Amino acid sequence: VCKATKDDWRDYLDSENQALKSKRCEWIEGTIYIVEPSSQERECFSREVEHALLAQRGFDAYMTAWGSAVIPGLPDLPDYEPDDGYGPANFMGAPFPPGVQDYLSWYTLIIEVGKWRSWGYGAGMLDWKAAEWAQFPGVRYILCVKVTDRLATADYKLYRVERGGNDEALPLPELDPVPVVGPQTMVTFDSRELLGLPPGENIPSNPYSCDRFPDPSFSLDLYEVLETAWQEPDDSLFGAVTVHSSFSRS
C-alpha cells in the first residue's frame, strides 16, 4: 500500500519493470492497494474463461479480445485493468456509444475473477469493481467470478448494465452469487448487446470468416470452464498459498 498521484499510477501502468504486477492492484483516491495477491487459482480460471470464449468460433470471429489492457482514451475515468475485456470487431460498423471514440476503447464485456477479493461493495471488492466498470461508456456486461482454494468451488454474478436516456449507467442491481455446479452452469448474453448493435438489428456477415455469431443469444458454460481448470497439472497450479488480502472478509 502506498500513496500515489494518478499520474504516478499511469506511469507505473506503462512501466515494463513492475515489481508487483499492476493488475493485482487498484489506485483508489490517491492510494495504491494490493487487492488481489497472485494466485494460481485466479490465473488458471481466467485463462480457461478466455480459452472457452475464443474456442467458440462465432465469438472469436466477431469479438476482439483485449486481455487486461486499460481502456484507452478515457482520461476522466480510472485506469482499471480487467482480467479480460472484449469488444466488437471493427468490421461491425455499429455506431459508437456516447463517450466511445473508436473500437480500441469499446469494451462490451468485462470479466473479473477473484480469489482473495470477496463479494461486497467496499473499495476493491468484486461488487464494487463491477459498479466501477459500469461507469465506462459502452460496457454492457460485467461477469464476476469468485473462486476458492484449489478451485474447490466457484460462484458468479453476471451484471447487465442498464443506461438512462443520457446514456449514464443506472445503479447495478443487488445480486446473490450463483454457485457454479454440474452438469452445467450457463451464463447467457444478448448477442446484439455484446456486438454493440441496436435491438433487432441484423448481425452482419464477417467478411473474413464464414463463422456466424450465435443469434439471438450467446452462452458460456462456467462449469465446463471449472472442470477444465481442474485438469491442470497440480504441480503447475496449486502451490501452498498463505497470503491474505485486506479486501477479503469471512
Q: Which has more pLDDT, 42 or 233? A: 42
Strand 141-147 and strand 109-114: pairing?
parallel
Average pLDDT over the chain reads 87
Q: Which has more pLDDT, 197 or 249? A: 197
pLDDT tens for residues 57-75? Answer: 999 999 999 998 888 778 7
DSSP symbols for 23-34 = GGEEEETTEEEE
CATH number of 39-233: 3.90.1570
**Number of C-beta neighbours around residue 99 at 10 A:** 17
pLDDT confidence of residue 2:
76
Angle at 142 between CA 140 and CA 143, to 5 degrees: 140
The torsion angles phi and psi of 208, rounded to 5 degrees, stand at -110, 0
pLDDT tens for residues 113-132? Answer: 999 899 999 988 999 999 99
9: confidence class by pLDDT, cuts 50, 70, 90: low
- The three-class DSSP label of residue 234 is helix
DSSP symbols for 36-68 = S---HHHHHHHHHHHHHHHHSHHHHHHEEEEET
pLDDT confidence of residue 173:
97
